[in-house]
Amino acid sequence: MIRTIFALLASLSLATPAGADRIKDLGTFQGIRANQLTGYGVVVGLPGTGDDNLEYTVQSLKAVASRFGLQLPPGVNPGMKNAAVVMITAELPPFAKPGQRLDITVASMGKAKSLRGGSLILSPLMGADGQIYAMAQGNLAVGGLGAEGADGSKIVINVPSTGRIPEGATVERAVATGFDTAPSLTFNLARADFTTAQNVAGAINRKMGPGSAEALDAVSVAVRAPAGADIRATMMSAIENLDVVSAEPSAKVIVNARTGTVVINSAVRVGPAAVSHGKLTVRIDEKPQVSQPAPFSQGQTTVVPRSGVAVDEEKRPMFLLAPGPKLADIVKAVNAIGASPADLVAILEALKEAGALKAELIVL
């Protein structure tokens, strides 16, 4: 049985179809993902840029001191300008094992002006289930800088209240993925598409035998796999490098109304339509005149308003969109009339309302 499986896996290294994508670029296997870790800690050794006697900072430092058997007298609070309470975040990659190192990000929770020069005291990092998966400690690397003068003037560069500790955490517990024990492996596409899911299942079945994979829906493809981590790892490696022709995405036009950015994918088509786009400018000029009375008439000087109104209409010819033009034809037609990004948005919205734009129009 094992010899047959490896023979099938060896046959997966065939020529790549033109325009195909590797399965590993289309999605991931279920359960093989990163997990977010968070923690609460104290940074000490700051040069007077700490939290300055915040109540929870005092409690945190007392808790740290109590770990080493040090009890502060009642009513005595340690100085806070050299310490700050922080939140710690990290990502635990899949298959991370105890003893491996993680990069962590440390951010101030209180009034600390800068974490530059500080050191994080040993702090646990927990997952969503409340279990401890790593321990963090180390010296912070802070890219920001802040300085303040005696008169209140100050300058801040980047964000000095956030820093990182490369390899600042040590993994203490691995996350169970069910990789070697689950009855089947499930591959999830990054973009839901029934056609692509069927193509992925078909490619696996052609190389590993009928019934090896089936599309469950537009995202998931279930793959039958023998038990055993070694055999499954070899099988998954081969499956990831299979080539599949992805289905053409649905036609979409993405418009960012704030920046004027317009993105049109290659599936967009336009029905026959005539488009005319012009620019109307109304200009009003105020040129008041002074009316001076005749000598010895005892009249008063007055200002006589005089307004000039002009209308300029830019003449642009109407152009015809032929049935079913492709993306290049649409771009050429719009460029021919010199439309700005704002004008292009107006044209696309009008084509959508007229039923000529065969695409989903998404306005951000």
> pLDDT tens, 37-78?
999 988 888 888 877 766 667 777 777 777 766 676 666 666
* pLDDT reported for residue 297: 66
Q: Mean pLDDT of all residues in the chain?
A: 76
Q: Is the pLDDT of residue 85 over 50?
A: yes
- Dihedral of the alpha carbons of 64, 65, 66, 72, in degrees to the nearest 10: -140
* pLDDT reported for residue 332: 66
**What residue type is 298 in one-letter code?**
Q
Predicted TM-score (pTM) above 0.75: no
Our count of domains for the chain comes to 3
Domain residues for 182? 2-32+178-244
Q: Do the domain assignments include residue 306?
A: no
Do 10 and 63 belong to one domain?
A: no
Whole-number Å distance between alpha carbons of 204 and 11: 12
Q: Which two tokens stand for residue 327?
A: 């993306």
Do 97 and 158 belong to one domain?
A: yes
Q: Are 285 and 308 in contact (CB under 8 A)?
A: yes
Percent of the chain with pLDDT over 90: 13
Query: Last residue of a domain, which of 155, 171, 187?
Result: 171
Per DSSP, helices labelled H in the chain are 2-10, 55-67, 194-208, 229-240, 327-336, 341-353
Place of tokens 């006697």: 53
CB crowding 94-105: b at 16 or more within 10 Å, else e:
eebeeeeebebb
Q: Are 218 and 197 in contact (CB under 8 A)?
A: yes
Q: Is the pLDDT of residue 296 over 90?
A: no
Do 163 and 46 belong to one domain?
A: yes
* pLDDT reported for residue 15: 39
Q: Is the pLDDT of residue 131 over 50?
A: yes
Q: Do the domain assignments include residue 300?
A: no
Q: Would you call 196 exposed, middle or buried from its count of C-beta atoms within 10 A (0-12, 13-18, 19+)?
A: buried
Q: Is the pLDDT of residue 324 over 60?
A: no
* pLDDT reported for residue 81: 79
Q: Do the domain assignments include residue 359?
A: yes
Q: Do the domain assignments include residue 309?
A: no
Whole-number Å distance between alpha carbons of 11 and 3: 13
Do 141 and 115 belong to one domain?
A: yes
Query: Last residue of a domain, which of 244, 270, 302?
Result: 244
* pLDDT reported for residue 165: 92
Do 131 and 189 belong to one domain?
A: no
User: At 306, is the pLDDT very low, low, confident or very high (cuts 50, 70, 90)?
Assistant: low
